[in-house]
Structure 1
Amino acid sequence: MRAKTPSIRAVAAAFVLLLTTAASRAVLLDWAALPGGQTWPNSSTSNQFNLDGVAGNDIQITITKSAGITWATEPSNGQRYPQNIADPVIQSGVPGLQMWTSAGMVNSTNNVTVTITFLGTYATGAYVQNLTLFDVDASATFIDRVVISALRGATPVTLTATNNSALGTPANTITGSGTTSVVALGNTAVGNVTNARGDVYVNTGNQLVTSITLVWNNPGPNFGSQAIDLGNITFTPEVGSSSAALALCAGLLVFGRRRQSAARAAA
């Protein structure tokens, strides 16, 4: 009696499942544990990271500022921001990429812009499950405003954003969630906070994005030293359709040839 061999349909289903599983593997940018000894050098404004252990960088973060803005100096190391640092007055010391300005942000005339771009095999896009911002709040001398947008290529993508009410009234308000331009604005009624009440959580749902942009400024007339942090980012890369198709075709070709050989041997 000949041994039964699986049908091509069954093998195709298995390959699709394999590819789907590969595509659904989440990747984490964790500021407390960047892999392989990677770092964000103090004062630098653009870096790339390899997060999945496969050759090639996966994500790039670039920070630019208007000429009128001055970066603050961190007292503990004497170097200017941005810095990957655990600041006890922001999120009670949770590490993040901190941007701290000491001058130049008033009446929305100057901006700090953060651009997050997916690279290499992830350049076709990623689903962002969570991007966290820390310390979006306000005081008598400043108001944090962050305008968040995303693109897939050149096409705007809708975003969802929420704040943190677990500890009481959030230190910010969110408008535009579910649209292509989300605004997180510090709540002057709550004031300056040092805990998770200043958090903002952003995701793209089932929308693929190739880049996310954050534009941070101060819409108020007064200026005081102010800071926000870019927290961890969790995303699921998209496996390119052409790569998936090639892998599936190659697998089916190998299976078909083996099946033909088995049939000849049994004849």
Structure 2
Amino acid sequence: MNPEKMYTFLSRTSTQPDVTVQEIEASRYALLRRISPCLRHHMVRHLQPISMIYEVMDHKLSTPEPDLANLHRQADKINNFARAAMDQCLDMSTWLAPDRCDVVPLGAGVKECVDLLAASMNFRGYRLVNLTGNIALNVRRDALRMVLIAALLAGTDSLDQPANVLLNASAGDRDYLTLAMVVDRVEGVGAEVYEDGYRKLTWRDVEVLAAAEDVFLTFLDNRMTMSFAVESAPLVN
């Protein structure tokens, strides 16, 4: 990261920056536009095997004496993939209409974000390294999604060479979890410049989304930290 191109982020003891509703909505829209190809891929990945299984079943049904037990097992596979696809689509829809009461263990939430972006970022020359581990304390899922994804995109959009992006976490106190993002440039060939018909995310987008989600940011050299409030686990009726 080039410090001259970055915003100075606020510590947790600082006053949150003034942002407008229009800025928040614009930054959220920009983020969703940027990750829409990744969301689409995750929505359809469970549907792809269904057509392959159908072709196998169709071939077996054309035989004089089809193996009905085997066909039944294949039908069960189709049912399982269809259920998984439905669950995935419902989960992906929460990016558009999040539940602010929805919480997630920090480790699982970071893994979700890394899994969503890893393939597309690797294609551009950026390797995501998730070192957060299985931290079980909960944070708001939408806050983690918005701020972490925005930081990952803004941090790599501003680069012109490959880099390793390292994520680590710690429990600083009982009330907050700190997630750190470190960008280490890799000397060598240039990275794939983002040119996909929509604008790059900026550090102002990260700042705006963090303010909207009550996430506190700090920045030093190539290290950025995000502090998320620890949330109670939801009550089970």
Larger Rg: 1
Higher strand share: 1
Higher helix share: 2
| TM-score, L = length of structure 2 | 0.23
| TM-score, L = length of structure 1 | 0.21
